[in-house]
Amino acid sequence: MAKKIKIFIDPGHGGSDPGAVANGLREKDLTLAIAKALKKYLEQFEGIEVRLSREDDRFLSLAERTRLANEWGADIFISIHINAGGGTGFETFVFTNASSKSVAYQNVIHEEIMKVMGVTDRGKKRANFAVLRTSRMPAILTENLFIDRASDAAKLKDPTFISYVAKGHGEGIVKVFGLKRKSNTSSPANKPTVSRPNPSNQSKPSQPAASKPSTGNSKPSGDPYVRNIQQFVNSYGFSIAVDGIAGPKTMRALIMVLQTELNKQFARGLTVDGIFGPRTRAALANLRAETRGNLTRVLQAFLYIIGFNPGPFDGVFGDMTTTAVRSFQRARRLSVDGIVGPQTWSALLG
């Protein structure tokens, strides 16, 4: 029997910690409502287990939340919050030194939530939040509108909008893990029957963000650099979507390209399975300045996806790629030598 995917949902705050409070709302109540609706939505899919850090109004320390997820062996940790501070819109966070898998999951989940919620996109960010730092699995923290902004609060008071927030989170998780709906559930029990919520005049998330140029139609084209990476991957005979979103399928395909090149150039005899396991780790080749070719392209792809700009996606280990490698090594507290050896590769692909 296949191992079930374990999804851990953490409704922020609770009990004596109300979180942000404004406009007649408390963050702890909203996060619990979203989390419960998300659990209900996900339970319509096969091969998963879903747990919440709390299912009622109780206090849990930050350490207790991640301890529960770590001891359970969760495959993903989703912490749900409501923002405050006078802004508007939606944003997600991963840890400052997030793994490539966390970044891949963030990319997919963020995009899926934005498709559903219809609010301002504040972007994908990084932070040294305790629940992100201490979780042992890919972890994402979402900030869903601003409780102290009247227009955002009006949305958060609407149960239909809360169901949209939950559905967006759920669709992201479904896409990350490739989940299939149970045969006896024809439609989500909590799927709204009304039309998609109208964003305000100041926020039109159905349009691409400024950094994501249009393809000439109404759909976002995604990150053009990532689209180049996906086209490169598909030149190896794969058929991943060229959507500009660096999700798990893109990351797995990049590892398959890495394994293919290691076999081709160094006769490593690896199984091309997209899994960064001990054999692949042991087969890695060092890369350094002036190296050229497709292994350098793989390096540039991973650097870019996790937030370190290597310059043109050209397979040339030039000055910009060297600077990106050194910045990455410094951020991960590795030896800052600009050489991509086993430790740097492992930190990139881990």
- Containing H/E element for 153? helix 150-156
Q: What Å distances lie between residue 217 and 60, 220, 221, CA to CA?
A: 46, 8, 9
Residues 6+ apart with CB under 8 A from 265: 285, 293, 295
Q: Find the catalytic residue in 91, 111, 112, 143.
A: 143
Q: Is 49 part of the annotated catalytic residue set?
A: no
Q: How far apart are CA 213 and CA 207, in angstroms?
A: 10
The three-point CA angle 309-315-321 to 5° equals 30
Q: What are the CB-based long-range contacts (under 8 Å, 24+) for 315-318?
A: 316/292, 317/287, 317/288, 317/289, 317/290, 317/291, 317/292, 318/289, 318/290
The three-point CA angle 163-167-173 to 5° equals 150
C-beta neighbour count of 78 within 10 angstroms: 24
Tell me the two tokens of residue 243: 């959507």
C-beta neighbour count of 124 within 10 angstroms: 17
Q: End-to-end CA distance of the chain, in Å?
A: 27
Q: How far apart are CA 315 and CA 321, in angstroms?
A: 10
Q: Are 80 and 12 in contact (CB under 8 A)?
A: yes
Q: How far apart are CA 41 and CA 190, in angstroms?
A: 7
Residues taking part in catalysis: 143
